[in-house]
Chains A and B, each alone.
Chain A
Amino acid sequence: MNTTDLGYLVQFAFLIGAALFAMGLHQMNSPASARNGNRLSAIGMTIAVASELVFVANSGPGIGNWLIIFGGLAIGGLTGLRMARTIAMTAMPQLVSLFNAVGGGAAALLAIDDFVRLSGQRTPEGALAGLDGWLIFFIVVDVVIGSVTFTGSLIASAKLMGRLKGQPIILPGGRFVAAVAAIVAVSCSIVLVLAGAGLFNYDAWVLDVLLIAALVGALVFGVTMVLPIGGADMPVVISMLNAFTGSAVAMAGFVVGNVILIVAGALVGASGAILTKLMANAMNRSIGNILVGGFGAAEGSQAALTSEGGTVREISVDDAAIQLAYASKVVIVPGYGLAVAQAQHGVRELADLLEARGIDVSYAIHPVAGRMPGHMNVLLAEANVPYPQLKEMDDINPEFERTDVALVIGANDVTNPAARTDRASPIFGMPILDVDKARSIIVIKRSMGRGYAGIDNPLYVNPKTGMYFADAKQGLASLIAAVKAQ
């Protein structure tokens, strides 16, 4: 088959691939069809990659090129597979972040490679032959976004893995370095685009140096952008970096003239942007506010101590067990502390026990419970909790008034009534779970320590609240034993 006809066929295969991506994403809007949706998307990916391989084979690449392709596929594929198979579900956010890094990195590399190939090509008059203003525009946007994503995601991942401190890391002069890096990246990019548009007639090496400067500026900016952001804001940052990667891939599509990269990149960019917004809304923060960073570090110390003077009522495991065992409706409010303690299975066991006693049990899931939106749902699904029992905030809040016992495990800020009532509170206005409206409340908590926001929670001094001080996992184990004894 001649190359042109084959090219058309491959384009058609890309169209099918792109359609499968869109259909797959659409099917992910319901838990029942989501797995199928992901498979459709994977089939689309397989079709796209296989068609590209056929197209490439027809152009007769050398043995060295085949080695690069299959060697790279084997190494990358096996590494990715190994990580995907072994990662703990609690560690999902850092894996997503790692895949953002490599995706963004790959997109940047595509543009750099294209640039290096074309910057040396000149017309007989000495003007740039292959690079025009538009092409350079897409190249530099790709390189800058891809590089920021690469280093930013690596830092985010390292923070979540605990290789770096999770708290905001404020380096002396960090803001200054970030600003300089951003200015270098942007100004070099602008000069490059103008050169491509024919305003300057630089030698190839000048162009290369400019691109390298933009690249280094973007890499440094990625690091300095994420370092000062605290652990609680990390999900928003990862989601934003996911959107960045999508945009970088779409730009790479413009650079190499490949439509499926444009479509897939745009889909990811758009979805990432929406998710980022949803997450920021759930925390009642603007994205700009999060990027400025330092939330936990700066505001915690001066937060109003609203619960001063109240007394905390501590209850024993048997008190808690009796309350639960003789309730008719129990709502469990899991938080990140539960995930850290790996106590999801314990929660499930307790819920089964209560259900066996004829008690109506459901779970109240705050949109930002866990480390990513929906992360808590994944953790509970891993413990075999059926998803119809997981209630979203807006659905469960009206039910708290009819709830006998709200059992709060490892959640803090998302249950803080100060968000509704106390204008002085830093979290005022954040949508919360109305746990305090339940007839009684049991809080399992290790100590009176504060949550991410670093503020006191008046829920704990509410006369209806009983505090059961224990690690989530051990506490649940004792609670299960105590309920069984009832």
Chain B
Amino acid sequence: MNVGTLINDLTIFVLAILLGFEVISRVPATLHTPLMSGTNSIHGIVLVGAIALAAAADNPLSGILAFVAVVFAGANVVGGYWVTDRMLQMFKRRPVPKADEPAE
């Protein structure tokens, strides 16, 4: 890992952490659960790395590791965004009459 890359990456890392603190600390408690779920889907970005590895895999071990990583990350991304949206669509200023959710 060359030093230039390392410094660049560290700079981005530290600034992103500060941005994260800044953006999040203003969120009201009402939204903490959707927020946790929303950030939860964002870490599904690991899918991008998993795809890169899957494309480069040239032996069975790498292939298996990459496959499991893609499955995991894929579930994280799709499930995470979907369930966050499901939660947020319920936050309404005025109640709208609708059929009750199916029994759980």
Contacts and interface: CB of A to CB of B under 8 A. Distances in A.
Decide if A and B are genuine partners.
Answer: yes
Interface of A: 14, 17-18, 21-22, 24-26, 28-32, 34-35, 37-39, 41-42, 45, 48-49, 52-53, 56, 59, 61, 64-65, 68-69, 71-81, 83-85, 87-90, 92, 95-96, 99-100, 102-103, 105-107, 109-110, 112-114, 116-117, 132, 134-135, 138, 238-239, 242, 245-246, 249-250, 252-254, 256-272, 274-275, 278, 342, 345, 365, 367, 370, 372-375, 377-378, 381-382, 384-388, 390, 392
B79 A103 contact: no
Interface string B61-104: 11101111111111111111111111111111111101011001
Most central of A17, A102, A263 by chain B CB within 10 Å: A102
Given A113-B62, A268-B20, A262 B48 contact: no
Given A28-B34, A80-B79, A109-B65, A69 B43 contact: no
A250 B13 contact: yes
A342 B102 CA distance: 13
Contact of B51 (A31, A52, A92, A132): A52
B66 A256 contact: no
A22 B9 contact: no
A257 B9 CA distance: 8
Given A35-B89, A274-B21, A373-B29, A80 B77 contact: yes
Contact of B54 (A25, A68, A342, A345): A68
Contact of B65 (A25, A116, A242, A257): A116
Most central of B79, B90, B100 by chain A CB within 10 Å: B79
Contact of A87 (B26, B27, B46, B83): B83
Chain B interface, >50% SS class: helix
Nearest to A53: B51
Contacts of B27: 28-29
A77 B68 CA distance: 12
Nearest to B30: A377
29 contacts: A28-B38, A41-B81, A45-B41, A61-B56, A65-B55, A72-B70, A76-B72, A76-B75, A77-B75, A79-B71, A80-B75, A80-B76, A81-B78, A85-B86, A99-B44, A113-B53, A116-B62, A134-B1, A134-B6, A245-B43, A263-B16, A264-B43, A265-B46, A270-B18, A270-B19, A274-B21, A373-B32, A374-B34, A381-B87
Range of interface residues on chain B? 35 or more
Contacts of B91: 31, 34-35, 377, 381, 387
A471 to B, nearest CB: 17
Contact of A252 (B12, B46, B61, B76): B46
A325 B18 CA distance: 51
A110 B92 contact: no
Contact of A261 (B23, B41, B46): B46
Contacts of A382: 90, 101
B4 to A, nearest CB: 12
Contacts of B46: 103, 106-107, 110, 249, 252, 261, 265
B27 to A, nearest CB: 5
Contacts of A28: 27, 31, 34-35, 38
B76 A103 contact: yes
Contact of B40 (A99, A278, A365): A99
